[in-house]
């Protein structure tokens, strides 16, 4: 009997472990916060979070999670972005929609940006509030994300704000009051701007690109989804947005699902790197940036060169990126000549040399200058006559 119970217990543990390994379900709760710096202004939110079951006020899943504060578009709300938020929650993010700017009469950009900044700061306090559903569930890593008006207000909220880790703007409105374009030079955090080539509501050439150009961020990327539209960043179910887009003469050639897929393909690895320190995600991000046929891009991202060594043999070679981030240093202790190649993601060999070993030396140090390489992902192959070591680098 005891052995049977033990077997059942072990089986349950295995089932639970498998269950936890699956993408998270979406829990939901409505909450209001009060800003003491603005006469206890009430800031209402709709919060979607990782859970083991779907529903309202269900328990938060085991673990700790970074959070995303979302600024909606004009006359749009949380329900208009469920495709994005459901996907982000399933990846282990808490998504907080600020819902204080929902009507024509409440569209005050300065107030909305203060609301976004306030929630990005105050939400982490729930982690230490024993009476909160989010007690012990939050890590102090956060981004502000916004669409259209909310995208412009995201820039406003990020100015001189060192408390956030990144921003993402989806077809941002550059003509907010104050102007998102004019304050973008006060933004220093990593910034991802995603526009759409068919968007005539907030055209990239007059909105997103001027914001991108003005940002002071050392890591900033602009992406234009080919054939995409303004309202397609949401569920494309908001009548006011669709009416405005139709009236503006947008030229859309892809579906809502296609645009959401493309958006998430870049958003998720960007967030995984900046909020979860996932090095493989930034490699995936730049890989897609280089080769995706769905987008046109501009990149000014000074991420330190990163090296991921994959040992395919016992080849006695030590490799590292020099602290200047401009050179790869290879220590050859094999006693053999080495062939070193650097190959880009399209398979083009951009470096191909034989490094000679001198037998009167204990080792040979080779320095490969990577300063001339374009930003992107490369494979370094090092081999002698019998063995090979490969490395993945991002520049």
pLDDT of residue 209: 97
What sign does the CA torsion over 338, 339, 342, 343 have? negative
CB count, 10 Å around CB of 387? 16
pLDDT of residue 14: 39
Domain ranges of the chain: 24-301, 306-394
Q: Going by DSSP bridges, is the β-strand pair 338-344/138-147 parallel, antiparallel, or unpaired?
A: unpaired
User: Is residue 133 within 8 Å of 59, Cβ to Cβ?
Assistant: yes
Residue spans of alpha helices (H) in 25-146:
82-90, 109-122
pLDDT of residue 245: 77
Distance (Å, whole) CA 325 – CA 312: 25
Give me the percent of the chain exceeding a pLDDT of 70: 80
Distance (Å, whole) CA 320 – CA 323: 9
pLDDT of residue 333: 64
What is the 3-state composition of the chain as percent helix, strand, coil, each rounded to the nearest 5? 35, 30, 35
- pTM for this predicted structure: 0.78
Residue 388 clears pLDDT 80, i.e. is over it: no
pLDDT tens per residue, range 173-220: 999 999 999 999 999 999 999 999 999 999 999 999 999 999 999 889
Assign domain 306-394 to a CATH class. Answer: mainly beta
CATH T-level fold of 24-301: Rossmann fold (3.40.50)
Query: 332 pLDDT band (50/70/90 cuts)?
Result: low
DSSP state of 294: T
Rounded to the nearest integer, the mean pLDDT of the chain is: 84
Taking residues 118-126, report their average pLDDT. 98
Taking residues 45-52, report their average pLDDT. 98
pLDDT tens per residue, range 211-248: 999 999 988 999 999 999 999 999 877 767 777 677 77
pLDDT of residue 291: 84
DSSP codes joined into one string, 138-180: EEEEEEEEEETHHHHHHHHHHTT-TT-SEEEEES--S--SS-H
251-260, 306-315, 349-358, 364-373: least confidently modelled range: 306-315
Residue 20 clears pLDDT 50, i.e. is over it: no
Please list, in sequence order, all residues whose beta carbon lies within 8 angstroms of the beta carbon of residue 19, skipping any fewer than 6 positions away: 52
pLDDT of residue 1: 42
């Amino acid at each position: 009997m005891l052995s049977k119970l033990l077997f059942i217990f072990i089986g349950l543990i295995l089932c639970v472990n498998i269950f936890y390994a699956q993408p998270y379900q979406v829990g939901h709760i409505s909450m209001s916060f009060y800003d003491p710096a603005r006469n206890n202004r009430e800031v209402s939110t709709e919060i979607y979070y990782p859970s083991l079951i779907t529903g309202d006020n269900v328990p938060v899943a085991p673990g700790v999670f970074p959070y995303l504060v979302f600024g909606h578009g004009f006359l749009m709300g949380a329900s208009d972005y469920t495709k994005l938020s459901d996907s982000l929650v399933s990846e282990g993010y808490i998504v907080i929609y600020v819902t204080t700017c929902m009507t024509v009469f409440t569209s005050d950009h300065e107030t909305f940006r203060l609301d976004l900044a306030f929630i990005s700061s105050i939400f982490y306090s729930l982690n230490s509030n024993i009476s909160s559903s989010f007690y012990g569930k939050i890590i102090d890593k956060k981004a502000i994300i916004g669409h259209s008006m909310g995208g412009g207000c995201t820039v406003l909220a990020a100015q001189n704000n060192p408390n956030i880790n990144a921003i993402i703007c989806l077809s941002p409105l550059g003509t907010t009051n104050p102007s998102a374009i004019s304050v973008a030079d006060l933004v220093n955090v990593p910034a991802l701007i995603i526009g759409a080539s068919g968007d005539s509501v907030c055209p990239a050439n007059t909105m997103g690109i001027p914001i991108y150009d003005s940002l002071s961020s050392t890591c900033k990327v602009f992406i234009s989804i080919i054939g995409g539209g303004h309202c397609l960043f949401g569920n494309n179910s908001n009548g006011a947005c669709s009416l405005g887009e139709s009236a503006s003469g947008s030229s859309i050639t892809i579906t809502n699902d296609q645009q959401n897929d493309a958006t998430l393909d870049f958003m998720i690895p960007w967030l995984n790197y900046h909020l979860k320190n996932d090095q493989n995600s930034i490699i995936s991000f730049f890989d897609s940036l280089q080769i995706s046929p769905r987008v046109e891009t501009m990149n000014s991202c000074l991420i330190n060169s990163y090296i991921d060594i994959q040992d395919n043999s016992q080849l006695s070679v030590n490799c590292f990126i020099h602290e200047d981030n401009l050179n790869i240093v290879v220590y050859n202790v094999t006693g053999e000549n080495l062939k070193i190649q650097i190959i880009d993601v399209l398979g083009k060999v951009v470096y191909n040399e034989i490094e000679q070993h001198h037998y009167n030396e204990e080792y040979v140090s080779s320095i490969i200058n990577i300063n001339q390489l374009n930003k992107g992902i490369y494979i370094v192959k090092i081999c002698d006559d019998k063995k090979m070591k490969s490395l993945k680098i991002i520049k």
